[in-house]
Homo-oligomer: A and B are copies of this chain.
Amino acid sequence: MANTLCEQLGIDYPIFAFTHCRDVVVEVSKAGGIGVLGAVGFSREQLKEELDWIDAHIGDRPYGVDVVIPQKYEGMDTQSPEALEKQLWDMVPREHIEFAQQLLANAGVPDWPDGSTTMGLMGWTDATATPLLEEALTRPKCRLIANALGTPPADKIKLVKDSGRLIGALCGKVKQALAHKEAGLDFVIAQGGEGGGHTGDVGSIVLWPQIVDAIGDLPMLAAGGIGNGRQIAAAMAMGAAGVWTGSLWLTVEEAHTQPTQKQSLLNATSEDTVRSRSWTGKPCRMLKNEWTEAWGREDSPDPLGMPLQGLVTSDGMRRTATYADAGDCQKVAFNPCGQVIGQINTVESCRQVIYRLLDEYVDAVDKAASLLPKP
């Protein structure tokens, strides 16, 4: 499966694995794909530690880093991050914070050791994102930067490209893809509504060809629903240059996912996810549970927008991630994943996953080709 992107990145297969687990990054890259570390939520020191480990274990293979570099936000040029954060906190109703804290308490999720009840803005601002980007750019083996939310600002794009790396960004609409192309990005990641995390509502099979047609020869990575090689064949047949995968890596051997959480994911069917605004304020696909249902009820507070809802929930996000197995945590845990989680029912190693994908891909291509009219 050789193509330009593969050559530019120095990888064998255009299989991009988005993950928060450094072990998965390393194993996917060593198996011929490319692991991309999701860096949101890390401090610069934490990211440095992760990248040191990856650099030490990945041999001469490449990897990527995924950040959130916001475009503009109100107050960006005129306020300090601290002043901005205070202003945002003033806009958060007490009711929302209490509602969130009560859900966590009811499920027996332990408090954060230092007694604090918020993580603050958690990476959605320039002040937190830029140091992460700078850290990534100190690493020769990091060959690509992906932006999770919108077209990055021009100065960041230049910074990445001048360093000899590729920069891309996610999109869920043709309009966003065109903006990425206009801004000079090297590739786009088109995610259909089936995908996990922040995602739009146009389904992959409709979205991918539209984005391919809109952006011409700019490469498109297909995201949202990739769990086996047949889906990869489908994406390639529709003009994708490769695939961007996330849910697939949540339950592999090398993933850091805690046991109860891993079991929730393995047990889930494709109907057990929901696009919910309850964690970040923007629709985000995740496992349904009592948290998502509670925020959806008529008599509950309405989720705020982004980033305000993130202020309300950041404490819950870190607690349900850290104490995933405690009490009834899974009832209120933040578990972003795509609908494709329904076909992921066993634990495999990263290497097994990659080889299975390639094997299935070859079979699927043969099957499609065998239906051509006999000459």
Q: Are A173 and B271 interface neighbours, CB within 8 A?
A: yes
Question: For the complex formed by this chain, how many copies does it contain in all?
Answer: 2
CB-CB nearest in chain B for A209: B230
Q: Is residue A43 within 8 Å, beta carbon to beta carbon, of the partner chain? A: no
Partner of A237, one of B201, B225, B230: B230
Instruction: Return A285 CB to nearest CB of chain B, in Å.
Output: 10
| Residues in A190-220 with C-beta less than 8 Å from chain B | 192-194, 200-207, 209-210, 213
Known: A205-B224, A270-B206, A343-B210. A233 touches B368 (CB 8 A): yes
- The one of B203, B233, B239 in contact with A224, judged by C-beta atoms closer than 8 angstroms, is B203
A91 at the interface (CB under 8 A from B): no
Q: Which of A16-24, A306-314, A359-367 contacts B (4 or more CB under 8 A)?
A: A359-367
- Whether the Cβ atoms of B228 and A234 lie closer than 8 Å is no
CB pair A340–B206 under 8 Å, yes or no, is: yes
A56, CB-defined interface residue at 8 Å: no
CA distance A225 to B208 in the complex (A): 11
CB-CB under 8 A from A173, the residues of chain B are 271
Q: Which residues of B contact A338 (CB under 8 A)?
A: 206
- A206 and B342 contact, CB distance less than 8 A: yes
Taking a contact as CB atoms closer than 8 A, the residue among B200, B225, B372 that contacts A205 in the complex is: B225
**A357-B343 Cα distance, complex, nearest whole Å:** 30
A119 contacts the other chain (CB 8 A): no
Q: Does the CB pair B206–A343 fall under 8 Å?
A: yes
Q: A2 CA to B370 CA in the complex, in Å?
A: 9
Chain B positions within 8 Å of A204 at CB level: 203-205
- Residues of B within 8 Å of A203, CB to CB, are 192-194, 203-205, 224-225, 339
Complex: A204 Cα to B368 Cα, angstroms: 17
Residue of B nearest to A274 (CB): B201
| CB neighbours of A364 from chain B (8 A) | 237-239
A83 to B: closest C-beta gap in Å: 36
B193, B209, B271, B340: the one contacting A231 at CB < 8 Å is B209
Question: For residue A266, which residues in chain B have a CB less than 8 angstroms away from its CB?
Answer: none
Contact check, B365 vs A237: say whether CB atoms are below 8 A apart: yes
A residues at B contact (CB < 8 Å): 1-3, 173-174, 192-194, 200-207, 209-210, 213, 224-228, 230-231, 233-239, 269-271, 338-340, 342-343, 362, 364-365, 367-369, 371-374
Q: Could you list 6 A-B pairs, sorted by A, with CB under 8 Å?
A: A1-B373, A2-B373, A204-B204, A230-B239, A237-B368, A239-B367
* Given A1-B372, A230-B239, 6 extra CB contacts under 8 A: A192-B203, A203-B225, A205-B225, A206-B227, A206-B338, A368-B368
